[in-house]
Amino acid sequence: MKIKFKEYVEEHRKELENNPYVSKVSKTIQYSPEFKIKAVELRREGIPLRRIFEMHNLPYEKECCKSYIKKWMKQYDELGKESFYKETRGRSKKGKTGRPKKVDNITLEEKVLIQEKIIEAQKMEIEELKKQLWQGKVVKRRNNNEYMPTQIIYKFINELKDKTTVSIQRICKYFNVSRSGYYKWVHNSEKREKRELQDKTDFEIIHSIWSKKKEYGYLRITMSLKNDLGIIMNPKKVYRLMKKYGIRSTVRKKRPYAALNNEYKKHYYFDNVLNRKFDVKKPDTVYATDITYLIWGNNRYYLSVVKDLGSNECVAWHVSKTCGLELSINVIEQLTSRLGRNKMNGVMIHSDQGGHYTNPTYVNKLKDLGVIQSMSRRGNCLDNAKMETFF
């Protein structure tokens, strides 16, 4: 097996003659059987061809080395490694080749094992090259699984075919794409280039409208193309080009709490009439109220309490699974039943500025009863300390 490196051989003849993996050096290099066997085995392990030659201090030329490693692999599989030691060169006097005849003494199981090793080595080779070339490619998700679009895979195969001895058929099978599909993609490369140029031209027109009206979506841009420029373009194409080149309409930001904030503007707030004067001498004159939550098992419950600051007793309470307005209304109804409607007139009820106590329904109910409403200042929990310490 000869590789012509005339200039290299002349310059490094002595170095090559001393290399144990070289049998003979003349105008060409003849490799030793040991190197051929080792090269085949290393290649099967997925070691790049260039690295195999360089690690044995041998010159590397891509096309030649690819051709010869392929022949060595074939000889290794068909005749076994012993055949490398029985090689003879030239022709005998009878005009027959000096190479040994093919002996088909390999069992079916051994052939299957050899093919499995070949396939595994080729997979490792593809995987190694995949790591080098795959970086920066677009990975999408389908059903929570990563996948590479077919067009990207075809581009990758096109780059890969010049870097490996593995056949196109094997590479296509590895990536689960058809070989005919790949060749069709190669055949249509000119059409794709024309289509790409047309896409860029059309996108520039779309971008000229979008740059002035960024709130326009693809439908309004389609209408603008027709009405302003007289260009009829399929809305699906406009959508595709906007998606392809990464432009989208500017959508007004949602304000999920806007309605709630507007509702709270209608609520009522009162001064801190109690002003931390918690030492009340007479019962049933000043009350404090608040709401807390309780955890019971896996459930959450809400507790609303009214406390008499004169007697330090809880005079009304209500438990609910929901934190609705009934928490504050129910305890007022209990208190009214306990004292009587007439005695509620002039009573003071102190609370924080929670939504339950500023709600118009709650405020109007206290107003109808003649109750004086007092509220803590915002962010001052100590203004309702008697109730806060109860929980």
CA distances from 374 to 63, 338, 353, 363 (A): 93, 21, 9, 11
d(CA 213, CA 209): 6
Q: Is the pLDDT of residue 78 over 90?
A: no
Q: Is 36 exposed, middle or buried (0-12, 13-18, 19+ CB in 10 A)?
A: buried
Tell me the CA distances in angstroms from 31 to 18, 56, 294, 365, 376, one per residue in order.
12, 11, 85, 104, 96
Most confident of 33-37, 87-91, 133-137: 33-37
Beta pairing partners, 375: 351
Residue 125, CB half-sphere, CA atoms under 13 Å: how many?
27
pLDDT at 42 over 60: yes
Predicted confidence band of residue 90 (pLDDT cuts 50, 70, 90): low
Name residue 299's beta-bridge partners: 296
Percent of the chain surpassing pLDDT 90: 29
Q: What is the mean pLDDT of residues 115-131?
A: 66
213-238 pLDDT per residue, tens: 888 889 999 999 999 999 999 999 99
Average pLDDT (61-68) is 79
pLDDT at 73: 87
Taking residue 272's Cβ as centre, other Cβ atoms within 10 Å add up to: 14
Q: How far is CA 27 from the centre of its chain?
A: 57
CB 139 within 8 A of CB 94: no
Rounded CA gap, 49 and 39, in Å? Answer: 8
Question: Rounded mean pLDDT of 317-337?
Answer: 92
Q: Which tokens go with 336?
A: 């009214």
**Amino acid at site 284:** D
pLDDT of residue 138 exceeding 50, the answer is no
Tell me whether residue 326 is exposed, middle or buried, using C-beta atoms within 10 angstroms of its C-beta: 0 to 12, 13 to 18, 19 or more: middle
Once rounded to an integer, what is the mean pLDDT over residues 197-201?
A: 93
Residue for token pair 């003071």: 348
CB 136 within 8 A of CB 105: no
CA 368 to each of CA 242, 301, 343: distance values in angstroms, whole numbers, following the listed order: 62, 30, 13
Q: What is the pLDDT of residues 160-175, one digit of tens each?
A: 777 766 778 877 887 7
Ranking 53-67, 192-206, 369-383 by mean pLDDT, the lowest is 53-67
Q: Using an 8 Å Cβ cutoff, are 37 and 81 in contact?
A: yes
Rounded to whole angstroms, what are the CA distances from 67 to 43, 50, 77, 83, 165? 13, 13, 16, 19, 9
Q: Parallel, antiparallel, or unpaired for β 2-3 and 22-25?
A: unpaired
The dihedral of CA 287, 288, 292, 296: what is its sign? Answer: negative
Average pLDDT over residues 18-44: 81
| Range in 20-29, 213-222, 271-280, 320-329 with the lowest mean pLDDT | 20-29
Closest C-alpha among 275, 367, 350 to residue 309: 350
Do residues 29 and 22 make contact, with C-beta atoms less than 8 angstroms apart? yes
pLDDT of residue 255: 67
Among the listed residues 166, 165, 171, 169, the one whose alpha carbon sits nearest the alpha carbon of residue 62: 165
Residue 103 has pLDDT above 50, yes or no: no
Give the pLDDT confidence score for residue 274 in this predicted structure. Answer: 93
